[in-house]
């Protein structure tokens, strides 16, 4: 969803640009409903996109056009571009609102890219009316907008938007003066822009908190200042609250949260009237007030602060004398200051009189489980990070990883066992670390990973938490082992690819690869059958592993299908001059964070190449993704482009230790080669003298040969 503060900021243009980008890389995209409002740049950006004809409606003697939902469902593209999410349909349509039409498209498996202005959100309707003096009749429930997988703000300063307006790029000339002096006044646009930024910031915050919860991240991320003030229920708490409010006021956009702890042991609580007074004070200062039941003060206050991603804590200093503190143990402020880690703790001095202090109590039993889960998730994350670091340093073989596990858990010996497939059954050792490693199950630690693999260890008995962390580590080692074996089988199959048998061997290798990926996904799903035995972070990792494996299967199926269509002559090409820089930029963007690790070495004045933009983007993305997978962490792959006698040579080089594999020896390389040759180019794959692999495709430069008529 592209979100804007006002009409004219460029939401529709951005949506169409995204549609064109996806279309260029081979996605089936249609313009389901686009409102260009006569804007030339928007109309130009829509050129080339398949448009679904609108449905004509008659209402009270007038003719209207609406999105034809049935036609889109029949056409069933991968992606539909639908403008103006909050639009109200003409009476007589089966849905009253356009967002309800979009719900039907989503239910049918069609992805939707859409647009929305901030003033159409129901929660902000009264605010936008106060700002602009215009009551919006078309509104959208906030929950609908929140369900968007991605929300991108199309931002523009008020001055820039008014310039666009004055140049005639938004409204026709007869509406410009009225718009600039009414709705599009600088103050209005500034306020609407701030509303859009704040609403989107809250959505980003929700996503970040969800991510931190799913991954068991307890340490605060200082993306936004959150000040927690502890209210003990005493007369001088007012000074503590006001001090915390001043701390918050120094940082615009920060949050102030006051927390009072009530005993969970049935004891009488503090003066309710005094607490209501403190609540009213916090509210008047722009903060929020929370009552939390509990037992131990320091433990639960830290748990609350970490759950809220707090950056600072303000509380009154203890009234205990030094003698009482020595006798009774450390005070709550002292314990908090010692254990707060990344959270700053501010102590506000109180009167020194040693009279009764209101008891702050925090939930011991209620939060003990949450704390344990957080500790488990942190331990698991640390262990997996250590394994990843070992792998990135080039020691990704099972014995090295098992040695790391042995040291990590204080074991004397560790073995990864695999079940024999012969009729006699039994187990054999795949890899081991330490002296007198177990040769079968039944040692001090016996941890089944799947039907085929078990981890056995000797040295000590592990706790339940240690076993869960060890299990997560072992799953990663097994997954890497299975994937490495498949790479080896692919290399062996590549060596046998000759003559007419190449396609059959290629399909057989691809089928085995798909079976292994499906088995990997099934292993993760089987482990999810009992989610209560793992932390939320562990379950989330299993879901992510299954999804990744199934995505790879889907890509294999797509590649096989396209290879078959190509050989049957059913895959069309659209050869035109293509800006190579734009294609490379789109490919790097598709690769996500990995794209930043590819070194580019291209000329600034490269000519256009004669190619199909979508097919070329697909070939380059596939080659760069494969090069990233093969490359060591400290030796990123390189993409070069140079001019050679009326042709452009594009080369992707890596320093991977795996087999170079000849032309078309794997499905991805075979498809890349055939697509390149289909576009009139040449494809070559070889091993440089310094090692690794170099894949190059050569395409005609624009002007070097004639272009076929459209």
State the helix-helix crossing angle for 536-567 and 364-392, rounded to 10 degrees: 40
Is the same domain home to 74 and 104? yes
Is the same domain home to 467 and 376? yes
> Model confidence over 2-41: pLDDT tens digits?
999 888 888 998 999 899 999 988 999 999 999 988 887 7
Max alpha carbon distance in the chain (Å)? 95
Is the same domain home to 250 and 341? yes
pLDDT at 62: 84
Is the same domain home to 391 and 419? yes
pLDDT at 171 over 80: no
pLDDT at 224: 63
- Are the C-beta atoms of 5 and 117 separated by less than 8 Å? yes
Q: What is the CATH number of the domain that holds 625?
A: 3.30.565.10
Quote the CA–CA distance of 495 and 505 in Å, as a whole number: 10
> Model confidence over 95-127: pLDDT tens digits?
999 999 999 999 999 999 999 999 898 888 778
Long-range contacts of 275-278 (CB under 8 A, 24+ apart): 275/231, 275/233, 278/231, 278/233, 278/237, 278/238, 278/241
pLDDT at 662: 42
Quote the CA–CA distance of 429 and 267 in Å, as a whole number: 60
Last-in-domain residue among 158, 179, 212: 212
DSSP class per residue in 502-537 = HHHHHHHHHHHHHHHHHHHHHHHHHHTTSGGGS-HH
Is the same domain home to 404 and 511? yes
> Model confidence over 408-464: pLDDT tens digits?
888 899 999 988 876 667 888 888 888 888 988 888 888 888 888 899 999 888 887
**CA 294, 295, 300: angle at the middle one, nearest 5?**
65
Torsion 319-324-326-330 (CA) sign = negative
Quote the CA–CA distance of 86 and 16 in Å, as a whole number: 18
Is the same domain home to 194 and 245? no
708 located within any domain: no
Q: What is the CATH number of the domain that holds 290?
A: 3.40.50.620
Last-in-domain residue among 559, 586, 604: 559
pLDDT at 240 over 70: yes
pLDDT at 19: 93
Is the same domain home to 509 and 391? yes
- Are the C-beta atoms of 35 and 2 separated by less than 8 Å? no
pLDDT at 395: 47
Is the same domain home to 298 and 243? yes
Q: Select, from the ranges 76-80, 140-144, 319-323, 483-487, the one with the highest average predicted confidence (pLDDT).
A: 76-80
Tokens of 242: 């006001």
Closest CA to 636 of 598, 601, 602: 598
Q: What is the mean pLDDT of the chain?
A: 76
Distances (CA, A) of 82 to 2, 46, 68, 139, 698: 11, 12, 11, 17, 39
Closest CA to 285 of 306, 307, 316, 254: 254
Length of the chain: 710
Is the same domain home to 352 and 466? no
Is the same domain home to 489 and 611? no
Give the range among 243-252, 286-295, 388-397 with minimum mean pLDDT.
Answer: 388-397
Is the same domain home to 311 and 410? no
> Model confidence over 462-501: pLDDT tens digits?
887 778 778 878 887 887 787 777 666 655 555 444 333 4
Quote the CA–CA distance of 559 and 557 in Å, as a whole number: 5
Give the range among 49-53, 130-134, 185-189 with minimum mean pLDDT.
Answer: 130-134
Q: What is the CATH number of the domain that holds 155?
A: 3.40.50.300
The residue that leads in pLDDT, 361 or 206, is 206
Distances (CA, A) of 279 to 70, 232, 272: 54, 12, 10
Instruction: For residue 86, give its domain range.
Output: 2-212
Q: How many domains does the chain have?
A: 4
């Amino acid at each position: 969803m592209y979100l804007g503060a006002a009409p004219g900021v460029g939401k529709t243009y951005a949506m169409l640009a995204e549609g064109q980008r996806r279309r260029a890389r081979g996605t089936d995209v249609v313009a389901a409903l686009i409102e260009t409002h006569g804007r030339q740049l928007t109309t130009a950006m829509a050129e080339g996109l398949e448009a679904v004809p609108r449905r004509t409606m008659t209402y009270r003697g007038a003719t209207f056009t609406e999105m034809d939902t049935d036609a889109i469902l029949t056409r069933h593209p991968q992606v539909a571009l639908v403008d103006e999410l909050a639009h109200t349909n003409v009476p007589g349509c089966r849905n009253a609102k356009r967002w309800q039409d979009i719900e039907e498209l989503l239910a049918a498996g069609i992805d939707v890219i859409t647009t929305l202005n901030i003033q159409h959100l129901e929660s902000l309707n009264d605010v936008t009316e106060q700002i602009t003096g215009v009551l919006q009749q078309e509104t959208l429930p906030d929950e609908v907008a929140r369900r968007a997988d991605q929300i991108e703000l199309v931002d523009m300063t008020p001055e820039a938007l008014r310039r666009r307006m004055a140049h005639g790029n938004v409204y026709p000339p007869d509406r410009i003066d009225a718009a600039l002096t009414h709705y599009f006044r600088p103050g209005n646009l500034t306020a609407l822009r701030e509303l859009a930024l704040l609403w989107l910031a809250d959505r980003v915050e929700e996503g970040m908190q969800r991510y931190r919860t799913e991954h068991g991240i307890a340490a605060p991320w200082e993306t936004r200042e959150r000040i927690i003030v502890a209210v003990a229920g005493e007369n001088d708490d007012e000074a503590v609250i006001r001090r915390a409010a001043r701390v918050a006021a120094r940082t615009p956009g920060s949050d102030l949260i006051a927390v009072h702890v009530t005993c969970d042991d049935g004891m009488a609580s503090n003066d309710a009237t005094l607490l209501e007074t403190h609540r009213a004070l916090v509210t008047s200062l722009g903060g929020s007030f929370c009552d939390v039941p509990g037992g131990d003060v320091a433990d639960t206050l830290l748990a609350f602060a970490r759950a809220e991603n707090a950056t600072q804590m303000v509380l009154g200093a203890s009234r205990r004398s030094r003698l009482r503190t020595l006798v009774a143990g450390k005070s709550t402020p002292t314990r908090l200051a010692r254990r707060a880690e990344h959270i700053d703790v501010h102590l506000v001095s109180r009167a020194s009189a040693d009279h009764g202090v209101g008891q702050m109590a925090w939930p011991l039993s209620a939060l003990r489980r949450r704390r344990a889960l957080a500790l488990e998730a942190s331990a698991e994350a640390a262990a997996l990070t250590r394994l990843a670091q070992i792998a990135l340093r080039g020691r990704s073989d099972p014995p090295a990883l098992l040695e790391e596990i042995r040291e990590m858990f204080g074991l004397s010996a560790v073995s990864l066992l695999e079940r024999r497939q012969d009729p006699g059954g039994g187990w054999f050792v795949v890899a081991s670390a330490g002296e007198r490693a177990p040769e079968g199950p039944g040692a001090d630690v016996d941890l089944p990973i799947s039907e085929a693999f078990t981890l056995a260890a000797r040295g000590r008995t592990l706790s339940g938490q240690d076993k869960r962390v060890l299990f997560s580590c072992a799953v990663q080692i097994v997954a890497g082992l299975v994937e490495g074996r498949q790479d080896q089988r692919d290399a062996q199959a590549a060596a046998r690819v000759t003559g007419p048998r190449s396609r059959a061997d290629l399909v057989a290798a691809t089928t085995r690869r798909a079976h292994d990926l499906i088995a990997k996904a099934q292993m993760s799903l089987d482990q999810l059958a009992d989610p209560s035995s793992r932390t939320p972070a562990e379950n989330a990792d299993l879901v992510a592993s299954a999804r990744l494996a199934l995505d790879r299967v889907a890509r294999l199926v797509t590649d096989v299908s396209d290879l078959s269509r190509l050989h049957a002559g059913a895959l069309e090409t659209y050869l035109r001059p293509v800006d190579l820089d734009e294609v490379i930029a789109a490919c790097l963007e598709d690769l996500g964070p990995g794209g930043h690790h590819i070194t580019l070495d291209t000329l600034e004045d490269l000519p256009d190449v004669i190619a199909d933009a979508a097919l070329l983007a697909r070939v380059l993305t596939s080659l760069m993704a494969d090069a990233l997978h093969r490359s060591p962490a400290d030796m990123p792959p390189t993409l070069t482009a140079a001019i050679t006698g009326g042709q452009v040579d594009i080369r992707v080089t890596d320093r991977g230790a795996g087999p170079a594999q000849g032309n078309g020896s794997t499905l991805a390389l075979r498809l890349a080669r055939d697509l390149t040759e289909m576009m009139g180019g040449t494809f070559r794959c070889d091993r440089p003298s310094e090692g690794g692999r170099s894949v190059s495709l050569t395409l005609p430069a624009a002007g070097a040969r004639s272009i076929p008529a459209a």
